[in-house]
């Protein structure tokens, strides 16, 4: 997906939020915003938002002298999701269609996000929104492909959301043994890292790999041009690819291969691209 002019104020708003997470020094907040604005004057709008976001967050980390401004909120997300997990698991186990319930809950987990500016209540999402706002653009195809797959590549998104992914990975593992779960090599926004996947117990169900090649190539949404060898190998050879979140949608929606995108739409431009309303929980196949 290309970047729109509307993304600019959103990048700046996010920069301020990240700077405030990293330090209380208002002089540094101002410097971050001003340097981000300087940087954004020379971007190309042909690049996708995750690519531009990479550089914006690199500026933030450099000026705030913080390798991971979102560390604290990620820890909180991990703890909160861990507490929720048994309830979620029970919801899946008692559902008429456990696979569908696990898909829906994994999308609900995508509510946990510090990269966009709609904040949603996770309990509300579980209780009231899950069915109402679920847009099914591919569940029958999802089942069909899953039943015929021997390998699944699953791209994770945010920290804490990992526990919601685990629910779906557990359902998938009833049918497929070779599962690979993708995290980021380095901190970017609140995206899950290797340690977060391990914290959620995903390493017991799937092989966990870093999707990007590291060295400041971590983008909120895996870009093929920055991807690790291991990722590319899996991406090209896996029978089924499942992608979580807006970032991965923005970076991979133009790819040629079939991908099942599971995401909550948190931005009107992504909604317009998919053709559905902001706030929807979507399973989309392409």
List of residues contacting a copy of itself (CB under 8 A): 5-6, 8-10, 12-13, 16, 26, 29-30, 33-34, 37-38, 40-41, 45
Q: Which of 9/214 has CB closer to a copy of itself?
A: 9
Please state the closest distance from residue 57 (CB atom) to a copy of itself, in A.
Answer: 16
Q: Which of 17/250 has CB closer to a copy of itself?
A: 17
Please state the closest distance from residue 244 (CB atom) to a copy of itself, in A.
Answer: 27
The secondary structure of the chain, three-state, reads CCCCCCHHHHHHHHHHHHHHHHCCCHHHHHHHHHHHHHHHCCCCCCCCHHHHHHHHHHHHHHHHCCCCCCHHHHHHHHHHHHHHHHHHHHHHHCCCCHHHHHHHHHHHHHHCCCCCCCCCCHHHHHHHHHHHCEEEECHHHHHHHHHCCCEEEEECCECCHHHHHHHHHHHHCCCCCEEEEEEECCCCCCECEHHHHHHCCHHHCCEEEECECCCCCCCCCCCHHHECHHHHHHHHHCCEEEEEHHHHHHHHCCCCCCCEEEEECCCHHHHHHHCCCCCCEEEEEC
Please state the closest distance from residue 6 (CB atom) to a copy of itself, in A.
Answer: 7
Q: Which of 3/77 has CB closer to a copy of itself?
A: 3
Q: Which of 12/198 has CB closer to a copy of itself?
A: 12
Please state the closest distance from residue 259 (CB atom) to a copy of itself, in A.
Answer: 29
Q: Which of 45/131 has CB closer to a copy of itself?
A: 45
Please state the closest distance from residue 8 (CB atom) to a copy of itself, in A.
Answer: 6
């Amino acid at each position: 997906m290309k970047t729109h002019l509307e993304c600019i104020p959103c990048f700046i708003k996010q920069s301020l939020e990240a700077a405030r997470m990293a330090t209380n020094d208002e002089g540094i907040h101002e410097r971050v915003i001003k340097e981000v604005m300087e940087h954004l004057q020379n971007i190309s709008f042909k690049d996708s938002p995750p690519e531009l976001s990479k550089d914006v967050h690199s500026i933030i980390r450099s000026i705030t002298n913080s390798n991971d401004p979102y560390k604290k909120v990620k820890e909180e997300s991990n703890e909160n999701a861990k507490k929720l997990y048994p309830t979620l698991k029970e919801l899946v186990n008692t559902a008429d269609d456990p696979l569908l319930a696990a898909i829906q809950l994994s999308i609900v987990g995508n509510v946990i996000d510090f990269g966009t500016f709609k904040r949603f209540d996770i309990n509300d999402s579980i209780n009231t929104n899950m069915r109402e706002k679920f847009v099914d653009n591919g569940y029958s195809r999802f089942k069909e492909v899953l039943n015929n797959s021997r390998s699944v590549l699953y791209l994770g998104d945010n920290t804490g959301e990992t526990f919601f992914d685990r629910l779906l990975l557990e359902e998938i593992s009833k049918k497929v043994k070779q599962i690979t779960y993708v995290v980021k090599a380095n901190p970017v926004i609140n995206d899950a890292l290797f340690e977060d996947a391990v914290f959620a117990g995903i390493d017991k169900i799937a092989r966990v790999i870093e999707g990007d090649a590291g060295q400041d190539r971590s983008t909120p949404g895996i870009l093929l041009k920055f991807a690790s060898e291991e990722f590319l190998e899996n991406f090209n050879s896996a029978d089924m690819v499942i992608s979580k979140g807006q970032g991965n949608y923005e970076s991979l929606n133009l790819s040629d291969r079939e991908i099942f995108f599971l995401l909550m739409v948190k931005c009107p431009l992504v909604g317009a691209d998919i053709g559905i309303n902001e706030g929807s929980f979507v399973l989309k196949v392409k």
